[in-house]
Amino acid sequence: MPEKDGAAWEDHEVALLSDALRPWPAKYADVDARADVLLFPPAEALAHASETSGLVVVGRHTARFTTALALLEHARCQGPGRGEADRPRPMGRSAPVGSNDAGAR
Q: Is the pLDDT of residue 1 over 80?
A: no
85-102 pLDDT tens trace: 444 545 554 444 444 444
CB-based contact 79:57 (threshold 8 Å): yes
pLDDT value of residue 99? 40
Question: Residue 47 contacts by C-beta under 8 Å, 6 or more apart in sequence?
Answer: 70, 71, 74, 75, 76, 88, 91
40-72 pLDDT tens trace: 888 888 888 888 877 776 666 665 667 777 776
pTM above 0.75, yes or no: no
Q: Is the pLDDT of residue 11 over 60?
A: yes
pLDDT value of residue 16? 92
The pair phi, psi for residue 46, each rounded to 5°, is -70, -40
